[in-house]
Amino acid sequence: MEFEDNREFAFCSFCGTKIMLNEKVTISRKDEIQNLLNRAYEYEEKHDYLKAKDYCNRVLDIDSTNEYARALEERLQNSGPIKNIHIQYKSALDEKFKLRITLDGFNWIEIQPNGEYQMQLPPGRHNILLAAGKKQIKQRVEVSNSRDIITVTYNSLSRFKHFVTVNY
């Protein structure tokens, strides 16, 4: 409802109920903003920059001039996410096949032989399907926190011998 300052009454636009205005009501969202900022700072400390940025944006949605959220937003832009998954493709052959990687059921990327790729995965269990030519190997990795660094190496030793190692 919208209330005009110089009126003693307001009317509900849906049902027509007359409402008497006795006092001015001020709604403060100061505590809500502080809680959101605290959560953003917690996630920043855990190096979970995506969640920290999300909470920072929630503060700015409420108060676009909040100096603490603006400072945090700038700091987060200079702090890149930690690339906690390193996938390597090692081939002893003159391999012409790229390594196709599918992450959690979604096509993800291709890597050239003897190449590598790095990215950040959120905490949780993840299924990785590694495929070179007709050879496919499924691998499950578990990220306990965003600071874990996991190396997944796909080795192609011969036409018939392929294996994956995972180092936590």
pLDDT tens digits, residue range 66-124? 999 999 988 888 776 678 899 999 987 766 788 999 999 988 899 998 999 998 888 88
pLDDT value for 18: 79
pLDDT value for 91: 85
Which CATH number is associated with domain 85-167? 2.60.40.1120
Query: Which residue in this structure is represented by tokens 């307001």?
Result: 10
Alpha-carbon separation of residue 84 from 51, 126, 130, 152 (angstroms): 16, 13, 18, 11
pLDDT for residue 133 is more than 90: no
Domain boundaries, the chain: 9-78, 85-167
